[in-house]
């Protein structure tokens, strides 16, 4: 016969098991398919009341949004910690499902250490970002080569330029003559025929060209204001032309002598677009930038800004207006 204490222990165990089965608060996490509305995981947290058989379902949205239905975050966290300490909840997906894992009392929180490779990748990324943000060269807006002349920035009243002959009656700023010759020679060596048809223009010459354009448009039926608006997109208003600076050239070719978009498709037009920056010239009025320059696409008009600036402007796909705005 077994001793009386054996039966007493059995009774205590039975009561304990019954209490555990009927009254312990359990928490289960169930992963479901991605929610159709927001392509996110819908997580159900099932809470069983300690004195009731009723199941109360709480969605992850309820929990995260702190609704009245949601259980207190600290209470649930503390309960999970108790389960872990008692060995009843070995594998908890706390972090994945919105819970932060708290260290035991007296324990130091784990600190994630960066590896050398991670630091190198981060430094490399930061370096690339800085390289993209910073201009390739230092821009000096006071440099004579970068003087901006357009409708909003007329030629200064005290501007003066020393001219030198290119050939015949064509003149340009004496400081760019050598680069003009080098560019023409290089094109010739590549079998490309370039023909400079306009360079420096005086104020009087520009006024004549502009007035002729206005008269032609008015003859077609436009009012003066309409002709002025349209004409100034094709021929710059006197006093606002880069040709006054002696730094601009209009270049065509022997077998294409019309100043229109078609020149950009000729062998000469393509050669200039690709090679002019090596001699200090940029395509001043590129296609698609009309609202910025105030001038229609002119594949024949090239402006001298110096080799370093010309390469930088061209590589970055900017107009002179945009380039100088970078250094404001």
- The residues carrying an active-site annotation are 298
Distance CA 42, CA 176 (A): 70
Instruction: Check: CB of residue 249 under 8 Å from CB of residue 196.
Output: yes
110: left (phi over 0), alpha (psi -120 to 50) or beta: beta
The Cα diameter of the chain in Å comes to 134
Quick one: tokens of 49? 């009341």
| Residues near 110 by beta carbon (within 8 Å), at least 6 away in sequence | 103
């Amino acid at each position: 016969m077994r001793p009386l204490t054996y039966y007493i222990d059995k009774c205590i165990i039975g009561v304990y098991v019954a209490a555990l089965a009927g009254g312990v608060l359990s928490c289960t996490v169930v992963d479901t398919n991605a929610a159709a509305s927001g392509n996110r995981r819908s997580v159900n947290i099932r809470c069983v009341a300690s004195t009731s058989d009723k199941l109360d379902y709480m969605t992850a949205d309820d929990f995260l949004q702190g609704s009245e239905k949601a259980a207190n975050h600290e209470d649930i966290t503390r309960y999970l910690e108790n389960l872990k300490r008692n060995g009843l909840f070995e594998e908890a997906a706390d972090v994945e499902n919105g819970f932060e894992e708290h260290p035991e009392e007296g324990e130091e929180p784990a600190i994630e250490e960066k590896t050398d490779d991670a630091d190198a990748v981060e430094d490399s990324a930061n370096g690339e970002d800085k390289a993209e943000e910073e201009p390739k060269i230092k821009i000096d807006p006071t440099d004579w080569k970068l003087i901006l002349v357009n409708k909003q920035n007329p030629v200064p009243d005290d501007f003066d330029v020393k001219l030198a002959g290119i050939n015949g009656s064509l003149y340009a700023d004496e400081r760019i003559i050598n680069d003009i010759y080098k560019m023409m020679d290089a094109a010739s060596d590549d079998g490309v025929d370039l023909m400079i048809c306009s360079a420096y223009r005086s104020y009087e010459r520009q006024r004549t060209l502009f007035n002729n354009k206005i008269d032609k448009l008015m003859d077609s039926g436009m009012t003066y204001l309409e002709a002025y608006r349209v004409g100034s997109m094709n021929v710059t208003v006197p006093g606002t032309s880069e040709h006054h600076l002696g730094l601009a050239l209009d270049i065509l070719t022997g077998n294409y002598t019309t100043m229109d978009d078609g020149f950009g498709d000729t062998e000469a037009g393509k050669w200039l677009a690709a090679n002019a920056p090596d001699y200090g010239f940029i395509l001043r009025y590129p296609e698609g930038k009309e609202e910025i320059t105030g001038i229609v696409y002119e594949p024949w008009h090239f402006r001298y800004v110096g080799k370093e600036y010309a390469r930088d402007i061209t590589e970055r796909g900017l107009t002179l207006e945009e380039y100088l705005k970078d250094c404001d």
